[in-house]
Amino acid sequence: MTWHSWRRALRTAEAAVVGFDPSTRTWVTDADRSQGMDDLPPLKGKVVTDPASRGQAADDFGHLVHRFPGAVLEPGAVSDIMLMMKYCRTHGLQVAARGQGHATFGQGQVEGGLIIDMTPLNAIEVREDTAVVEAGALWSSLAQATLARGLTPPVFTDYLELSVGGTLSVGGVGGQTHHHGSQADSVVELEIVTGEAGLRRCSAQLRPDLFHAALAGRGQCGIITKATVRLLPAPATVRHYLLSYPSVAALTADQQRVVNDGRFAYVEGELGLPTGSAGWSYQLEAVAFFDGTTPPDDARLLDGLSDQPVDREIQDMSYFDFLNRLAEGVAYLKSTGEWYRPHPWWNMFLPASRTDAFVEAAIKELTETEVGASGVVLLYPFPRARVNLPLLRLPDEETVFLFTLLRTASLGAGSPQDMVEANRSLYLSAQAVGGYQYPVGSIPTTPEEWRTHYGPEWAAFEAARERYDPDGILTPGQGVFPPGP
Ligand SMILES: Cc1cc2nc3c(=O)[nH]c(=O)nc-3n(C[C@H](O)[C@H](O)[C@H](O)COP(=O)(O)OP(=O)(O)OC[C@H]3O[C@@H](n4cnc5c(N)ncnc54)[C@H](O)[C@@H]3O)c2cc1C
């Protein structure tokens, strides 16, 4: 029996959910209908309580935290989300959306409450210079739909199989952020089911409090159901450059130079763990767009850079192949099982002036034991002013660096618990130099610390939460606000 047929069997063995029994605080199935607990509203989709669905919703890419929801909604329409939000509100049940479950520390989980599986809501409509996309759609699907019309969203995450709602709820940064801000900066309008069960449209002009509390707002005020995303003309082809440096300082100096003059369309950077007798490696990854016929001017693009020319790797590829460049590696990691190991990730934004010293100290003692066999260390800058999201908190300097330790608890590496502890201590050190957490990782953080994190934005965030989720039922796994009743 394959896993899929086993899962199907488990699900069909389960009776349909018809209501929630407040006295026992359990979901009631068909078999209990006689008890008069069948008050579930009529839905286009369905609510399920089978162990396979609940088990999947109690896990994420981190495999570190497990909270079992009481039930999972597979919505047939946005109206199902509204109806079930109202229902959960009435019964004091907590609710969270699940996009692709690629959070790493239980951010999208709910103990005993309702998980809304967003994957069925995935429609995409491409217009002249925008796309209207349902929140469960994947960025890979949005890329393909827009590229078919010669258009593209301005910013992509490195991995495309994340949901639109999932990345807009945290921000979504990538190598184009130095030109266009985060993915959430490209959003012109949202449709949201708020915690009071209303369906609201919002934008920078219409209900700006909700708009700014939803983008990078970690699902605290509503479930994003639809986003209107700005589009740009797409390039046909890209030239991809990998440039090597002897030190962190040499890498970051050139990264800042090219980010400030904007010569490349995309800029990131990666630090490679020591192998054999070789020490750390430092690589700048950059991309220039072109139409496929007139190649970019290498001399101009590489002018004045201090990398080691003999180590340059330059390659042309289609724009989609570039966006989807992780797919092959992910397939390999899946085939070896490494993809399914725990992922205690650490992601923080650092002020440029403190980046070199901080990164050098952080990697000094780092070995494969601390980051795992497939661990990835990323480092890249962008101008702070490109990001205009009150809730994506960034250091107070002109240029900020995203620094990530994407750890995998591989076989033979450190334990997941040790890695989470190491994350916590590195978080405190980064905070001491003015760093801010990018809340997609696995760093234990208290509500008081989140309050400090949001600083001057806290009052507006809290007011939006009180207004749009007055019972405090939404997305408790983020641990930002104290849980509601
Ligand atoms: C392999 C990999 C690569 C990544 N690369 C990048 C990268 O390059 N850049 C970057 O910025 N991030 C990156 N991330 C982090 C990623 O952007 C976030 O973890 C994102 O939230 C995951 O999207 P998801 O669809 O899996 O969301 P989920 O994990 O399902 O949800 C994340 C959070 O958002 C909430 N949520 C989900 N959908 C909605 C919605 N519609 N409305 C309201 N709240 C919602 C959930 O309740 C949860 O709290 C990466 C993660 C992985 C695993």
Q: Could you report the per-residue pLDDT of 176-203, keeping only the tens digit for each?
A: 999 999 999 999 999 999 999 999 999 9
- At 459, the pLDDT band (50, 70, 90 cuts) reads very high
In-domain check, residue 303: yes
Out of 12-26, 149-163, 265-279, 359-373, pick the least confident: 12-26
Q: Which pLDDT score, from 0 to 100, does residue 399 have?
A: 98
Predicted pLDDT of residue 485: 57
Which residue of 73, 109, 122, 159 sits with most ligand 1 atoms within 8 Å of its CB, as the best mutation to test the pocket?
159
Higher pLDDT, 441 or 278: 441
Cα of 86 from ligand 1 centre, angstroms: 25
Amino acid code (one letter) for 92: G
> Does 97 contact ligand 1 (Cβ within 6 A)?
yes
Whether residue 288 is found in the same domain as residue 386:
yes
Whole domain around residue 39: which residue ranges?
Answer: 3-117
Measured in Å, residue 168 CA sits from the centre of ligand 1 at 8
pLDDT at residue 10 is higher than 60: no
Residue 9 confidence (pLDDT) = 42
- Quick one: 284 and 357 in the same domain? yes
Instruction: State the Cα–Cα distance between residues 255 and 274, nearest whole angstrom.
Output: 22
Q: What's the average model confidence in pLDDT over 220-235?
A: 98
- Identify whether residues 100 and 219 lie together within a single domain: no
Closest-CA residue, ligand 1 atom 15, reads: 440
pLDDT digits 0-9 by tens, 261-299: 999 999 999 999 998 888 999 999 999 999 988 999 999
Number of H helices, E strands in the chain: 16, 21
- Domain closes at, from 216, 233, 250: 233
In ligand 1, the atom with minimum distance to the C-alpha of 438 is 11
Query: Which of ligand 1's atoms lies nearest the C-alpha of 172?
Result: 11
The answer on 400 and 254 residing in a single domain is yes
- Tell whether ligand 1 has an atom less than 6 A from the beta carbon of residue 218: yes
Q: In this structure, are 425 and 334 located in the same domain?
A: yes
Domain boundary among 117, 134, 168: 117
What ligand 1 atom has the least distance to the C-alpha of 440?
A: 19
> What is the DSSP-derived secondary structure letter of residue 414?
-
Read off the pLDDT of each residue in 376-397 and give the average, rounded to a whole number.
98
pLDDT score recorded for residue 273: 95
Crossing angle for the helix pair 352-364 and 416-432, to the nearest 10 degrees: 150
Q: Mean of the pLDDT values across residues 449-457?
A: 98
Same domain, 278 and 420: yes
CATH number for the domain spanning 217: value is 3.30.465.10
pLDDT digits (tens, 9 = 90+) for 294-344: 999 999 999 999 999 999 999 999 999 999 999 999 999 999 999 999 999
Instruction: Supply the CATH number for residue 78's domain.
Output: 3.30.43.10
In the prediction, which pLDDT does 24 show?
A: 81
Mutate to test the pocket of ligand 1, among 78, 98, 177 (most ligand atoms within 8 A of CB): 98
Q: What pLDDT is attached to residue 13? A: 47
Q: 35-94 pLDDT, tens per residue?
A: 556 789 999 999 999 999 999 999 999 999 999 999 999 999 999 999 999 999 999 999
Number of other CB atoms surrounding residue 278 within 10 Å: 9
Does 409 lie in the same domain as 279? yes
Q: Is 347 in the pocket of ligand 1 (CB under 6 A)?
A: no
Residue 337 belongs to domain with CATH number: 3.40.462.10
> 107 in ligand 1 pocket by Cβ < 6 Å?
yes
Quick check: 69 and 99 in contact, CB under 8 A?
no
Residue 383 lies in a domain: yes
Is residue 174 within 6 Å of ligand 1 at its C-beta? yes
* Strand (E) or helix (H) holding 371: helix 368-371
266 shares its domain with 415: yes
- In the reported structure, the alpha carbon of residue 353 is separated from the centroid of ligand 1 by a whole-number distance in angstroms of 29
Pocket test for ligand 1, best of 102, 164, 194, 382 (most atoms within 8 A of CB): 102
Q: Indicate which residue's Cα is closest to atom 51 of ligand 1.
A: 102
Over range 363-369, report the average pLDDT: 94
Q: Which ligand 1 atom minimizes the distance to the CA of 171? A: 11
Rounded to whole angstroms, how far apart are CA atoms 381 and 172?
14
380 lines ligand 1 (CB under 6 A): no
pLDDT of residue 29: 79
Q: Percentage of the chain surpassing pLDDT 70?
A: 95
Query: Average pLDDT of 222-234?
Result: 98
* One domain, residues 258 and 373: yes
How far, in Å, from the CA of 166 to the mean position of ligand 1?
Answer: 4
Is the model's pLDDT at 7 over the cut of 50?
Answer: no
Whether 213 lines ligand 1, by a CB cut-off of 6 Å, is: no
Counting atoms of ligand 1 from 1, which one is nearest the CA of 173?
Answer: 11
What mean pLDDT value characterizes the chain? 94
110 lines ligand 1 (CB under 6 A): no
**Predicted pLDDT at 363:** 97
pLDDT tens digits along 23-38 = 888 888 776 655 556 7
Which residue among 204, 233, 262 closes a domain?
A: 233
Residue 469, in any domain of the structure: no
| Furthest C-alpha separation in the chain | 78
Number of domains in the chain: 3
Residues across the chain: 485
Of 73, 156, 163, best ligand 1 pocket probe by most atoms within 8 Å of the beta carbon: 163
Cα–Cα distances (Å) from 423 to 271, 371, 376, 409, 480, in that order, read 18, 11, 14, 13, 18
pLDDT at site 34: 54
Q: Are residues 140 and 174 in the same domain?
A: yes
CA dihedral for 229, 230, 235, 239, sign (positive or negative): negative
Tell me phi and psi for residue 233, to 5 degrees: -60, 135
Q: Is residue 454 in a domain?
A: no
Q: How far, in Å, is the centroid of ligand 1 from the Cα of 107?
A: 9
Task: Confirm whether 358 is domain-assigned.
Answer: yes
Q: Mean pLDDT throughout 90-118?
A: 98
Looking at the domain assignment, is residue 89 inside a domain? Answer: yes
Q: Which two tokens stand for residue 475?
A: 């997305």
CA of 290 to the centre of ligand 1 (A): 30
Same domain for 382 and 285, yes or no, is yes
- The number of the ligand 1 atom at minimal distance from the alpha carbon of 102 is 26
| Atom 49 of ligand 1: nearest residue by CA position | 108
Do 280 and 398 fall into the same domain? yes
Q: 457 lies in a domain? A: no
Token pair of 103, please? 């959070």
**Ligand 1 center from residue 103 Cα (angstroms):** 5
Q: What is the pLDDT of residue 5?
A: 39
Cα(163) to centroid of ligand 1, in Å?
7
> Rounded mean pLDDT of 147-161?
98
Tell me which of 14-28, 225-239, 402-416, 435-449 is least confident: 14-28
Question: Quick check: is 334 in a domain?
Answer: yes
Beta carbon of 61 within 6 Å of any ligand 1 atom? yes
Is pLDDT larger for residue 275 or for residue 466?
466
184 lines ligand 1 (CB under 6 A): no
**Which pLDDT score is estimated for 107?**
98
